Amino acid sequence: MVFLVIAAAAFFATLLGGLFALVLRGRLHLILGFSAGAVVGVAFFDLLPEAIELGCGSFGQRFLPLFPGFGFLVYLLLDRIALSHGAAGNFAKGKNSRRGMLGAVSLVTHSIFDGIAIGLAFQVSAAIGVVVTAAVLTHDFSDGINTTNIVLKNGGSAKEAFRWLLADALAPVLGIGMTLFVHLPKAWFGLVIALFAGFFLYLGASELVPDSYNAYPKRLTTAGTILGAGLVLATTLAVR
Ligand SMILES: [Zn+2]
Protein backbone atom coordinates (compact mmCIF):
# COMPACT_ATOMS: atom_id res chain seq x y z
CA MET A 1 0.00 0.00 0.00
CA VAL A 2 2.79 2.44 0.98
CA PHE A 3 4.64 1.48 -2.21
CA LEU A 4 1.53 2.19 -4.29
CA VAL A 5 1.27 5.73 -2.90
CA ILE A 6 5.01 6.36 -3.40
CA ALA A 7 4.91 4.94 -6.92
CA ALA A 8 1.97 7.18 -7.81
CA ALA A 9 3.72 10.23 -6.32
CA ALA A 10 6.92 9.48 -8.28
CA PHE A 11 4.87 9.04 -11.47
CA PHE A 12 3.04 12.34 -11.12
CA ALA A 13 6.09 14.35 -9.96
CA THR A 14 8.02 13.24 -13.07
CA LEU A 15 5.05 13.80 -15.39
CA LEU A 16 4.43 17.27 -13.96
CA GLY A 17 8.06 18.30 -14.47
CA GLY A 18 8.04 17.12 -18.07
CA LEU A 19 4.68 18.77 -18.88
CA PHE A 20 6.01 21.99 -17.36
CA ALA A 21 8.96 21.83 -19.77
CA LEU A 22 6.66 21.00 -22.72
CA VAL A 23 4.29 23.89 -22.02
CA LEU A 24 7.18 26.33 -21.58
CA ARG A 25 9.16 25.07 -24.55
CA GLY A 26 8.97 28.53 -26.16
CA ARG A 27 11.33 29.51 -23.37
CA LEU A 28 13.51 26.45 -23.73
CA HIS A 29 16.67 28.47 -22.97
CA LEU A 30 15.58 29.15 -19.41
CA ILE A 31 14.68 25.53 -18.72
CA LEU A 32 17.74 24.24 -20.57
CA GLY A 33 20.04 26.26 -18.32
CA PHE A 34 18.21 24.99 -15.26
CA SER A 35 18.28 21.41 -16.55
CA ALA A 36 22.05 21.59 -17.11
CA GLY A 37 22.60 22.59 -13.49
CA ALA A 38 20.15 20.02 -12.18
CA VAL A 39 21.85 17.11 -14.01
CA VAL A 40 25.32 18.13 -12.79
CA GLY A 41 23.85 18.71 -9.32
CA VAL A 42 22.29 15.23 -9.21
CA ALA A 43 25.68 13.73 -10.16
CA PHE A 44 27.74 15.61 -7.56
CA PHE A 45 25.33 16.18 -4.70
CA ASP A 46 23.00 13.16 -4.85
CA LEU A 47 24.47 10.17 -6.71
CA LEU A 48 28.15 10.45 -5.69
CA PRO A 49 27.59 10.70 -1.92
CA GLU A 50 25.01 7.92 -2.10
CA ALA A 51 27.37 5.64 -4.06
CA ILE A 52 30.14 6.24 -1.52
CA GLU A 53 27.78 5.56 1.36
CA LEU A 54 26.50 2.29 -0.12
CA GLY A 55 29.63 0.91 -1.80
CA CYS A 56 32.80 2.08 -0.04
CA GLY A 57 32.38 -0.33 2.85
CA SER A 58 32.59 -3.37 0.56
CA PHE A 59 34.65 -2.12 -2.39
CA GLY A 60 37.02 0.29 -0.68
CA GLN A 61 37.84 3.94 -1.12
CA ARG A 62 40.30 3.30 -3.96
CA PHE A 63 38.04 1.16 -6.15
CA LEU A 64 34.58 2.72 -5.94
CA PRO A 65 35.57 6.27 -7.03
CA LEU A 66 36.84 4.78 -10.34
CA PHE A 67 33.28 4.02 -11.40
CA PRO A 68 32.08 7.57 -12.12
CA GLY A 69 35.11 7.76 -14.45
CA PHE A 70 34.09 4.51 -16.18
CA GLY A 71 30.53 5.81 -16.50
CA PHE A 72 31.76 9.07 -18.04
CA LEU A 73 33.87 7.25 -20.65
CA VAL A 74 31.17 4.68 -21.48
CA TYR A 75 28.68 7.48 -22.05
CA LEU A 76 31.23 9.36 -24.18
CA LEU A 77 31.70 6.28 -26.38
CA LEU A 78 27.95 5.74 -26.79
CA ASP A 79 27.46 9.44 -27.51
CA ARG A 80 30.17 9.46 -30.21
CA ILE A 81 28.65 6.36 -31.82
CA ALA A 82 25.24 8.06 -31.82
CA LEU A 83 26.80 11.19 -33.35
CA SER A 84 28.65 9.31 -36.08
CA HIS A 85 25.35 7.76 -37.22
CA GLY A 86 23.58 11.12 -37.45
CA ALA A 87 23.72 13.19 -40.63
CA ALA A 88 26.51 15.80 -40.48
CA GLY A 89 24.18 18.62 -41.56
CA ASN A 90 21.75 17.82 -38.81
CA PHE A 91 24.54 17.74 -36.25
CA ALA A 92 25.49 21.28 -37.23
CA LYS A 93 21.93 22.35 -36.46
CA GLY A 94 22.07 20.51 -33.16
CA LYS A 95 19.55 17.96 -34.40
CA ASN A 96 20.31 14.32 -33.83
CA SER A 97 17.47 12.08 -32.80
CA ARG A 98 19.81 9.18 -31.88
CA ARG A 99 21.61 11.48 -29.48
CA GLY A 100 18.28 12.54 -28.00
CA MET A 101 17.27 8.90 -27.67
CA LEU A 102 20.52 7.99 -25.92
CA GLY A 103 19.94 10.76 -23.39
CA ALA A 104 16.32 9.73 -22.88
CA VAL A 105 17.18 6.02 -22.49
CA SER A 106 19.85 6.95 -19.95
CA LEU A 107 17.43 9.10 -17.93
CA VAL A 108 14.70 6.44 -18.03
CA THR A 109 17.17 3.78 -16.87
CA HIS A 110 18.29 6.10 -14.08
CA SER A 111 14.65 6.52 -13.01
CA ILE A 112 14.24 2.73 -12.84
CA PHE A 113 17.18 2.76 -10.41
CA ASP A 114 15.51 5.60 -8.47
CA GLY A 115 12.60 3.21 -7.93
CA ILE A 116 14.93 0.34 -7.01
CA ALA A 117 16.66 2.68 -4.51
CA ILE A 118 13.33 3.29 -2.79
CA GLY A 119 12.48 -0.40 -2.59
CA LEU A 120 15.99 -1.35 -1.37
CA ALA A 121 15.98 1.39 1.26
CA PHE A 122 12.72 0.05 2.68
CA GLN A 123 14.31 -3.41 2.80
CA VAL A 124 16.98 -1.92 5.09
CA SER A 125 14.57 0.00 7.31
CA ALA A 126 11.43 2.15 7.17
CA ALA A 127 13.37 5.27 8.31
CA ILE A 128 15.97 4.96 5.52
CA GLY A 129 13.12 4.22 3.13
CA VAL A 130 11.46 7.54 3.95
CA VAL A 131 14.73 9.48 3.47
CA VAL A 132 15.47 7.92 0.08
CA THR A 133 11.86 8.38 -1.03
CA ALA A 134 12.02 12.08 -0.17
CA ALA A 135 15.30 12.41 -2.10
CA VAL A 136 13.86 10.70 -5.18
CA LEU A 137 10.50 12.48 -5.15
CA THR A 138 12.08 15.92 -4.87
CA HIS A 139 14.31 15.41 -7.90
CA ASP A 140 11.73 13.52 -9.97
CA PHE A 141 10.32 16.85 -11.10
CA SER A 142 13.68 17.78 -12.62
CA ASP A 143 14.08 14.24 -14.04
CA GLY A 144 10.87 14.91 -15.98
CA ILE A 145 12.12 18.31 -17.17
CA ASN A 146 15.45 16.80 -18.24
CA THR A 147 13.87 13.94 -20.19
CA THR A 148 11.60 16.28 -22.14
CA ASN A 149 14.46 18.70 -22.75
CA ILE A 150 16.99 16.21 -24.03
CA VAL A 151 14.51 15.00 -26.69
CA LEU A 152 13.38 18.51 -27.72
CA LYS A 153 16.94 19.86 -27.77
CA ASN A 154 18.04 17.17 -30.20
CA GLY A 155 15.24 18.00 -32.61
CA GLY A 156 12.57 15.58 -31.33
CA SER A 157 8.89 16.53 -31.63
CA ALA A 158 6.64 17.34 -28.69
CA LYS A 159 4.92 13.99 -29.24
CA GLU A 160 8.21 12.09 -28.99
CA ALA A 161 9.19 14.09 -25.94
CA PHE A 162 5.88 13.20 -24.29
CA ARG A 163 6.35 9.49 -25.03
CA TRP A 164 9.78 9.50 -23.39
CA LEU A 165 8.37 11.52 -20.50
CA LEU A 166 5.70 8.88 -19.97
CA ALA A 167 8.38 6.16 -19.98
CA ASP A 168 10.42 8.17 -17.46
CA ALA A 169 7.37 8.64 -15.22
CA LEU A 170 6.60 4.90 -15.30
CA ALA A 171 10.25 3.95 -14.67
CA PRO A 172 10.31 4.49 -10.86
CA VAL A 173 7.06 2.54 -10.60
CA LEU A 174 8.74 -0.34 -12.46
CA GLY A 175 11.84 -0.02 -10.26
CA ILE A 176 9.86 -0.20 -7.02
CA GLY A 177 7.95 -3.21 -8.38
CA MET A 178 11.21 -4.98 -9.26
CA THR A 179 12.46 -4.83 -5.66
CA LEU A 180 9.46 -6.87 -4.57
CA PHE A 181 10.98 -9.78 -6.52
CA VAL A 182 14.73 -9.11 -6.81
CA HIS A 183 17.18 -8.56 -3.98
CA LEU A 184 20.30 -6.74 -5.16
CA PRO A 185 23.14 -6.49 -2.61
CA LYS A 186 23.45 -2.92 -1.33
CA ALA A 187 27.17 -2.62 -2.16
CA TRP A 188 26.62 -3.58 -5.82
CA PHE A 189 23.90 -1.01 -5.98
CA GLY A 190 26.55 1.54 -4.90
CA LEU A 191 28.67 0.61 -7.93
CA VAL A 192 25.74 1.08 -10.30
CA ILE A 193 24.92 4.47 -8.80
CA ALA A 194 28.60 5.50 -9.14
CA LEU A 195 28.39 4.54 -12.83
CA PHE A 196 25.29 6.70 -13.22
CA ALA A 197 27.09 9.62 -11.57
CA GLY A 198 29.54 9.40 -14.51
CA PHE A 199 26.69 9.23 -17.06
CA PHE A 200 25.09 12.31 -15.53
CA LEU A 201 28.38 14.19 -15.42
CA TYR A 202 28.91 13.57 -19.11
CA LEU A 203 25.33 14.47 -20.02
CA GLY A 204 25.44 17.63 -17.91
CA ALA A 205 29.00 18.90 -18.28
CA SER A 206 29.71 17.94 -21.90
CA GLU A 207 26.28 18.40 -23.40
CA LEU A 208 23.75 20.45 -21.47
CA VAL A 209 26.04 23.04 -19.81
CA PRO A 210 27.92 24.14 -22.98
CA ASP A 211 24.90 23.71 -25.30
CA SER A 212 22.57 25.80 -23.17
CA TYR A 213 25.10 28.63 -23.04
CA ASN A 214 26.07 28.41 -26.71
CA ALA A 215 22.41 28.66 -27.67
CA TYR A 216 21.65 31.50 -25.25
CA PRO A 217 24.82 33.22 -23.97
CA LYS A 218 22.97 35.23 -21.39
CA ARG A 219 23.43 35.81 -17.69
CA LEU A 220 19.99 34.33 -17.17
CA THR A 221 21.18 30.98 -18.58
CA THR A 222 24.05 30.92 -16.08
CA ALA A 223 21.70 31.92 -13.27
CA GLY A 224 19.39 29.06 -14.29
CA THR A 225 22.26 26.55 -14.16
CA ILE A 226 23.38 27.68 -10.70
CA LEU A 227 19.74 27.60 -9.57
CA GLY A 228 19.26 24.05 -10.92
CA ALA A 229 22.35 22.71 -9.13
CA GLY A 230 21.54 24.74 -6.01
CA LEU A 231 18.01 23.36 -5.77
CA VAL A 232 19.28 19.77 -6.00
CA LEU A 233 21.88 20.53 -3.31
CA ALA A 234 19.28 22.13 -1.07
CA THR A 235 16.83 19.25 -1.38
CA THR A 236 19.60 16.70 -0.81
CA LEU A 237 20.74 18.49 2.35
CA ALA A 238 17.15 18.90 3.51
CA VAL A 239 16.23 15.22 3.28
CA ARG A 240 19.54 13.59 4.31
ZN1 LIG B 1 16.14 10.53 -10.62
Each residue's pLDDT tens digit, 103-121 = 899 889 888 888 887 888 7
Q: Please report the pLDDT score of residue 94 as a whole number.
A: 56
The b-or-e profile of 73-110 (16+ CB within 10 A means b, else e) is: eebeebbeebeeebeeeeeeeebbbbbbbbbbebbbbb
Question: For 205-227, how does the pLDDT look when each residue is reduced to its tens digit (9 = 90+)?
Answer: 987 888 788 877 788 889 999 99
Say which residue, 120 or 168, is predicted with more confidence.
168
pLDDT at 195 over 70: yes
Return the number of other C-beta atoms located less than 10 Å from residue 14's C-beta: 34
The confidence score (pLDDT) of residue 90 equals: 47
Q: What is the pLDDT of residues 22-39, one digit of tens each?
A: 888 777 777 888 888 988
Nearest to 3 by CA among 178, 141, 139, 138: 178
Domains contained in the chain, number: 1
- C-alpha 205: how far from its chain's center? 13
Note down the domain range covering 169.
2-239
Q: How far is the CA of 110 from the centre of ligand 1 (A)?
A: 6
Mean pLDDT of the chain: 84
State the virtual CA torsion across 194, 196, 198, 201 in degrees, nearest 10: -130
User: Is pLDDT above 70 for 88?
Assistant: no
**Average pLDDT estimate for 156-162:** 93
Residue 173 has pLDDT above 90, yes or no: yes
**How far away, in angstroms, is 88 Cα from ligand 1 center?**
32
Give distance in angstroms: CA of 111 to centre of ligand 1. 5
Residues in the chain: 240
Interval between CA 233 and ligand 1 midpoint (Å): 14
Q: What is the model's pLDDT at position 91?
A: 47
pLDDT exceeds 50 at position 92: no
